[in-house]
Structure 1
Amino acid sequence: MAVIPKLKLSGMEKAMPVIGMGTASFPMADLETTKAAVLEAIKAGYRHFDTAFAYGSETALGQAVVEALRLGLIESRSDLFITTKLWASFTDPSQIVPACKMSLQNLKVEYVDMYLIHWPVRLTEMVRKTPVPVEIVKPLDIKGAWKGMEECVNLGLTKGIGVSNFSIKTLDQLLSTAKIPPTLNQVEMNPYWQQKKLREFCKERGVHVTAYSPLGANNTKWGDDRILGNEVLADIAKARGKTTAQVALRWVYEQGVSIASKSFNKERMAQNLQIFDWCLSDQDLQKISQLPQAKGVTLASILGPHPLVLEIDADL
């Protein structure tokens, strides 16, 4: 079983494993498939799991944790670091504590380790399908929403709070009013979307960065094969006796960024953890730094090309 390094996050007692298993899939996987994948991940050594209300995977993750405890794969809930996210339909300040409690009920846990605002936008209705009507897309009340997140900490519902898909602009607004600063910002990051300016901003302000879609989210609605099919990364991998995915994940790790990487394939799960006992060379890093940059994940691809949505995408 792989041993995964952990990192200390600002304002938190518990260290976070630097790589976690993502549970977002497209199309959405059924409960038993996700549950089985989580159990395999625990056997492989994963102790950090990333979910969200919007992924529809909270219930499956919760059932897998119960089963892992029953089987003795973990000794207690505290062996795991669980991250979930506040969906945009619940970002009115009055909805945030109830939404967090709903996620805890889905997960069958008394607290999560990290609770994130999923996107910097508010939807005035609960949505069952996307894209959504333009009239329900509203600006996020950052100050009010963050007070709700802070209340989740004060009530013991979560150990830490942070954001996802926040730009420098929206993070700056949040930091100017937050009593409890955001611990981390989870954003798309990979060799083709390196996020240098955002990472520098976050580092200066003590906000850790977690990368999602580190492999380009191939075989999803929003992803492609620009990472796994890239010749530069493939050549580096071949020279080192590694996979292209391992090179991409190692690159992210060497930037001081943690990783949420989704795979339900047992072999690839194990491979994704085999990135800690070797390094990329300066020449490798130079080649990767010269790759063309292009964002893969956009809010417009999810909610629709509405004016506010396009404005958020342009900031990220």
Structure 2
Amino acid sequence: MADAAGPPPRGKNLLKVADAMKKRALEERDEADANAEKKQKTLAAIAREFICPITHELPIKPVTAEDGKIYEEKAIREWFSKKDGEPTSPSTGAVIGTKLFPAPQARNTIEALVESGAIAGEIAEAWKQKLEDEKEVKETRAMAGGGDGEAMYMLGAWYREGMNGLAKDNAQARAWYERSAAARDPKGMAAFGEYLLLGLGGPQDTAFGIMNATEAAGLGSDLAAYQLGWAFFEGGHGLPKDPARARFWLKKIFDGEYEYKHLTDTARADAARMLRELDQ
């Protein structure tokens, strides 16, 4: 007997095929999402292994300590230097030796992960900024080594404020300011004069400090003019009170002639106050 039903309508076959394709596409999308999530979790786990337990940031100069953990070199050295008694691991608290091993492979891996976007967000941006700071310091040191007085001044300023990845260190700041002053950079001379006058990073020497400040002020440093103006206003740093000389130097801060403007806003406001009092 012949099949009375005949073949199914063509439209129903196409609908089944479309449904199957849609289902497969959804399954593939879900699988891709799951794989991407798994990959991201794996990368996040790898990134966590490189985060310094002390700074909680990705290290620029990674080293491996004797506890097997990766640290920022400067951070782990400071940890050991400040520790009373036997040195301990910042991660486990166990007593360990202080030997550190360079970890260039960790640096290379971190750089690859950040550059590829595998590690992103604030932690990656902070690492990139530290990388830029490191590059700037390296270039500035090279310029200072070539005799650039302004570069010497910048290194002093960074050590003074603890900027660009350099630890705050008044002794280092003073040393760089002194070199800058020897190169006759006006800002370096003024800063070195300030350190001498205040006894920062080394012994106080008011006579040499005033000498540096006077030379720097003559070359156009507003910081040096403030130092002299204050000294004559207050009768400080071994100078007598002299309103005329105080006014002379303080007015130079505001007359627009000085080329080297590195006076803080606070000191500038103080200079304006002294001028107002002198004009009363």
TM-score normalised by L of structure 1: 0.25
Bigger fraction of residues in helix: 2
Which structure is richer in relative contact order (CA contacts within 8 A, separation 6 or more)? 1
TM-score normalised by L of structure 2: 0.28
Larger radius of gyration: 2
Bigger fraction of residues in strand: 1
